[in-house]
Chain A
Amino acid sequence: KNQVEQSPQSLIILEGKNCTLQCNYTVSPFSNLRWYKQDTGRGPVSLTIMTFSENTKSNGRYTATLDADTKQSSLHITASQLSDSASYICVVGPGRKLIWGLGTSLAVNP
């Protein structure tokens, strides 16, 4: 069964600190892996998209890694800001039918 599992479920960090969110997937066939940021009550916003051949991709303070052999991905946030408080969702696409994780709820406190 195609599944995407994320950890931790929630995370609280202090402003300025770094953090890493994890994603494990069992999705076949694999097309791409995406990380989305979703503010409460809003639609998801794309942070990164990686295909099978990409190991890492950065978008500002966000860096995603992908290990297609172990089917794991991580999202690293550097120098966190209060505005980073949101849900971060890992999404894996077999084609156009995306399989979504439940997300990690990140709270950045001053």
Chain B
Amino acid sequence: EPEVTQTPSHQVTQMGQEVILRCVPISNHLYFYWYRQILGQKVEFLVSFYNNEISEKSEIFDDQFSVERPDGSNFTLKIRSTKLEDSAMYFCASSAGTTSFGPGTRLTVT
């Protein structure tokens, strides 16, 4: 069964550094998403992406965040200048009806 994959599984970075989280959605899916989950808190919607553009974004998704689908298979989330409060699990998801989630990337900002 096809799955959403994410790399890396764990990323440690220093405050102020840029990070890129990578995702490979399921191949025939058209909608892509990023969510984050701070430890012990609810999963929060960040952004949805369709037809090579952002279709919706939350208040969390400010100018420090960007998404890209550079090559038709990968879907990336970039955080330009990480803050301590960006430490969380970041989940990529894709859908064509049913939404499938990747295993997540644990981002630790020190």
Q: Report how many residues on chain B are interfacial, defined by Cβ distance under 8 Å.
A: 24
Contact A44 B55 (CB under 8 A): no
Taking A41-B106, A46-B99 as known contacts, 12 extra A-B pairs with beta carbons closer than 8 A to each other, sorted by chain A number, are A42-B103, A42-B104, A43-B102, A43-B104, A44-B101, A45-B101, A91-B43, A96-B33, A96-B48, A97-B56, A100-B43, A102-B41
Of A34, A42, A45, most B-chain CB atoms within 10 Å: A42
- With beta carbons under 8 angstroms apart, the residue of A41, A42, A49, A101 that contacts B98 is A49
Residue of A nearest to B95 (CB): A96
For chain B, what secondary structure do more than half of its interface residues adopt (helix, strand, loop), or is it mixed? strand
Contact B103 A43 (CB under 8 A): yes
Q: Which residues of A contact B (CB under 8 A)?
A: 34, 41-46, 49, 89, 91, 95-103
- With beta carbons under 8 angstroms apart, the residue of B55, B91, B95 that contacts A43 is B91
